[in-house]
Amino acid sequence: MAHDILIVDDEADIRMLLSGILEDEGYQTREAADSKEALARIRARQPSLVILDIWLQGSELDGIEILKIIRREAPQLPVLMISGHGTIETAVAAIKIGAYDFIEKPFKSDRLLLLVERAIEAARLKRDYEELKLRSGADVELVGGSSVMNHLRQAIDKVAPTGSRVLISGPAGSGKEVAARLLHARSRRSKGPFVVLNCATMRPERLEIELFGTEPGAEGPDSPRKIGTFEQAHGGTLVLDEVADMPLETQGKIVRVLQDQVFERVGGNNRVEVDVRVVASSNRDLPAEILAGRFREDLFYRLSVVPIKVPPLRERRDDIPQLTRYFMARSAQSAGVSARELGEDAMAALQAYEWPGNVRQLKNVVDWLLIMAPGEPKDPIRADMLPAEIGSIVPTVLKWEKGGEIMSLPLRDAREVFEREYLLAQVTRFGGNISRTAAFIGMERSALHRKLKSLGVLNGDRGLKVAP
């Protein structure tokens, strides 16, 4: 995405010269000859940078006064001042007010381009830093080697550069936001902003303010202009998280923005033009929401140009060991302690668990284990150290304690109890896949099948019987 630069100078030939130099380097430019035009252009859409002449003949406000308004209305917008003879002192004063730097007339194009590049980069770094502060711990790595995850990554790689709208569906905590980040990172907009708005956590009135921003005075007599998420995301990606939670009326407004890439801020009628890739995500069944009259069909078709599904963790149990090690390494690093290993029994229990809270829940369990698991840091974490609801999945006879009940049985019956519990745990861990379980435990597939049937673990063809 080309950066959009606004050139404010009263002299038409300087504006032409500047826009020529900048456009040759691939920037997009807009021009303004006086304060009225300049402010109108900025209000219509926030540029990436303003190049602002200090002395503007025939203008109501001079460069310094315009700068003050920009600082107030758009504090993140970088401004590069142009100073002529005798205005250097003013230019220095401008830096104190918050201009990025100044360049003196007559200027060399190399120096101009260098300053422009630096000013935009500095603003981007500041924005990234702010974003990072807000969302520290955000991931762009989609960990997992299961075939479902490989397909997901392939789908993302394929659709990312096309710029199509994408609807990501999947249950809570499954990694929808990580998928959206990856989509942005692999797109042509990767240098542009990535903005996420959670539609579920906001009151309906607040949602529109967040989406579209406000004009000065809209939220009280002295309220400043607020830039909404659509405008913040110009040149980048906007994620509408939990899009099904948006009120119908707001949905209608979004349809319009998607159609025309134009909207008005709350409390005004300035038309704001934006170029934003919208990625929506939801954990609901949107076609069912449409039938229930809670989601607009036209919005669904506009958002869902390419649908992507992130499956629940229980459908990709193969990813659990890798995810566990990944979260363990990261948590240990950020806590400044050494990572703990997990014993085979603990890993089997993690793989057999249902994970209603998906990857987010796994991450929390790993964080908890790092702090709470007893024993020396070098000792592996065992199944009985896991939170009760997870650890109980592993049959008691397999835990490192002397099973009481089993000791009261003759060998033949004890062996049967053991086999049954062991096999049930292994088959669950491999998601009911008999071939893979057989390969892991070192049995022929058909022999395992017979065994499971004779132990009453298999119910019918492939269905698993619940442990008695």
Which chain residues interact with ligand ATP by CB under 6 A?
139, 141-144, 170, 172-178, 241, 283, 359-360, 363
SS3 102: strand
State which residue, 175 or 235, has the beta carbon closest to ligand ATP.
175
- Closest separation between CB of residue 322 and ligand ATP, Å? 9
Q: DSSP readout, 262-308?
A: EEE-BT---EEE---EEEEEESS-HHHHHHTTSS-HHHHHHHTSEEE
State which residue, 216 or 311, has the beta carbon closest to ligand ATP.
311
State which residue, 178 or 286, has the beta carbon closest to ligand ATP.
178
SS3 42: helix
CA distance to 7, 47, 224, per residue, from 54 (Å): 12, 19, 24
- Closest separation between CB of residue 261 and ligand ATP, Å? 25
Q: Which residue is nearest to ligand ATP, using beta carbons? A: 175
State which residue, 171 or 395, has the beta carbon closest to ligand ATP.
171
- Closest separation between CB of residue 99 and ligand ATP, Å? 38
SS3 204: helix
State which residue, 120 or 244, has the beta carbon closest to ligand ATP.
244
SS3 246: coil
CA distance to 26, 117, 119, 275, 348, per residue, from 81 (Å): 21, 14, 11, 27, 63
- Closest separation between CB of residue 200 and ligand ATP, Å? 8
Say whether the peptide bond before residue 106 is cis (omega within 30 degrees of 0): yes
Helix residue spans in 25-168 (DSSP H)? 35-44, 63-73, 88-97, 109-134, 147-159
State which residue, 79 or 310, has the beta carbon closest to ligand ATP.
310
- Closest separation between CB of residue 363 and ligand ATP, Å? 5
State which residue, 4 or 245, has the beta carbon closest to ligand ATP.
245
- Closest separation between CB of residue 196 and ligand ATP, Å? 9
CA distance to 18, 21, 33, 81, 118, per residue, from 24 (Å): 10, 5, 21, 21, 17
State which residue, 3 or 277, has the beta carbon closest to ligand ATP.
277
State which residue, 175 or 228, has the beta carbon closest to ligand ATP.
175
User: 379-408 burial by CB neighbour count: b if 16+ within 10 A, else e?
Assistant: eebbbbbbeeebbebbbbbbbeeebeeeee
- Closest separation between CB of residue 241 and ligand ATP, Å? 6
> Angle at which helices 445-454 and 434-441 pack, to 10 degrees?
100
- Closest separation between CB of residue 156 and ligand ATP, Å? 11
- Closest separation between CB of residue 430 and ligand ATP, Å? 20
CA dist., res. 195 & res. 276, Å (int): 10
CA distance to 170, 179, 281, 450, per residue, from 155 (Å): 15, 10, 16, 39
CA dist., res. 279 & res. 269, Å (int): 26
